[in-house]
Amino acid sequence: MELFDEIAAKVKGTGKTIVFPEGEDKRILGAAVRLQNDGLIKPILLGTRAEIEKTAKDNGFDIADLTIIDPTEYPEADKKAMFDALLERRKGKNTPEQIEEMLKDVSYFGTMLVYMGKADGMVSGAVHSTGSTVRPALQIVKTKLGVHRISGAFLMIKGDQRYIFADCAINIELDAPTMAEVAVQSAKTAKLFGIDPKVALLSFSTKGSAKGDMVTKVADATAKVHEMDPELPADGELQFDAAFVPAVGELKAPGSKVAGHANVFIFPSLEAGNIGYKIAQRFGGFTAVGPILQGLNAPIADLSRGCSEDDAYKVALITAAQAL
C-alpha cells in the first residue's frame, strides 16, 4: 500500500474530528469535502457561513454534509463555556476583556474546540502564520508531560523511501536537551508512518573528527537520548554521509548500529534543518509533508501558506492518525 493509503486505512471508521479554522479558503474547503466524501474524518469548518457557501458554489463543492461553525453565531451557552474555560486556562495571564478578543480569532477558537474535546485535532496555516497557529496551541493545549519544547518534523517521501527530518520549523537554536527531546519525539513520529526509527544526530563532525562547542552539543544530546530511551537506536555526532551511506558509515563510525542506516535525521539548528529538507525536496525530488508539530498534548498541524488542497488533505490525515 502507498503511505497515505496506509494512513487512511488506519483512520477510516475511527470518527476522528478535525477542525479547520480557515474554512473560507478554497484549498481547505476542497480538502474537507474530499475527506468527508472519502469517509475518513469529520471536518469542522470555521468561518463566515456566507463566505464558505460562496466559495463552495464558485468551485462546485457540495458542502451539504459538512459541519460549519460561524464563531459569530455560536450559541451563547457554548460561547460562555468556552470563555470560562479559556479564562481559567489563562488564569492570571489574560483579563476577561482580552479573553473576549482572543476568542474572536479563529485560531484560538479552533484550539479551544480541541482543548474542550469537541475536536480531536486542528489543521491551520494555509492563511495564518506559524506563530498564529502555534501560539494558541502552546497557551491552551500546551506540551506533553516532560516535554519542554515543541518541534516541527517533515516526512520526506520518494517512491518507497521514507525519512523524518527535524527540527525544520520551530526552534531557531537547539541546546543539547532540546535536541535530545526532538530526537525522541521524531522517533515516535517515524513509527506513525511505519518507519522503524534509527536516529542520527547530525553535525559537521563524526565521532570527534572536528572539535568545538557545536560538536560537543550534539555529542551531549546523543548521550541524553540514550538516558531518555535506552532502547532507541540513536547515534551522534554524525555527518550526513556517515549517517546515510553504509560504506561511509562503516569507515567513519565502525560498530555503530545507526551509521549508514539512519532514517530519522536530527539537525543541530533550524537553519540547517530548513535548508536540508529543501535541498532534498528540490535537488533530490523528495516530497516534503509537514511540518508535523511534535510534543503537544493534542495534534495541531501547521500548513505552509503555499500549500495545495492535496497538502491539506494529507496533513489532515496525519493529524487524525496522531489522535489515534
pLDDT tens digit sequence for 193-235: 999 999 999 999 999 899 999 999 999 999 999 999 999 999 9
pLDDT band at 289 (very low <50, low <70, confident <90, very high): confident
Q: What is the mean pLDDT of residues 295-315?
A: 90
**285 CB-near residues (< 8 Å, 6+ apart):** 158
Helix ranges restricted to H, the chain = 3-11, 26-37, 49-59, 76-89, 96-102, 106-115, 130-136, 176-192, 213-228, 240-244, 246-252, 270-282, 309-322
Nearest Cα to Cα of residue 135 among 116, 122, 153, 154:
122
Higher-confidence residue: 239 or 290?
239
What average pLDDT does this structure show over 81-99? Answer: 93
| pTM recorded for the entire structure | 0.86
Nearest CA-CA partner of 240 in 192, 204, 212: 204
**pLDDT computed for residue 260 by the predictor:** 96
Across residues 108-136, what is the average pLDDT? 93
Statement: residue 171 has pLDDT above 60: yes
Residue 172, CA atoms < 13 Å, CB-side half-sphere: 0
Q: What is the pLDDT of residue 22?
A: 93
286 and 2 Cβ atoms separated by less than 8 Å: no
| Local confidence band at 315 (pLDDT 50, 70, 90 cut-offs) | very high
105 dihedral zone (left: phi>0; alpha: psi -120 to 50; beta):
beta
Q: Please report, for residues 26, 27, 36, 64, 128, the alpha-carbon distance to residue 33 in angstroms, rounded to integers and kept in the order given.
A: 11, 10, 5, 10, 21
Write down the pLDDT at residue 76. 92
pLDDT given for residue 129 in this prediction:
85
Confidence of residue 305 (pLDDT cuts 50, 70, 90): confident
CB 186 within 8 A of CB 171: no
Percent of the chain's residues with pLDDT above 70: 100
pLDDT for the residue numbered 1: 52
Give residue 139's pLDDT band: very low, low, confident or very high (50, 70, 90): very high
Whether 53 has a pLDDT exceeding 90, the answer reads yes
Compute the distance between CA of residue 183 and CA of residue 221 in angstroms, rounded to an integer: 9
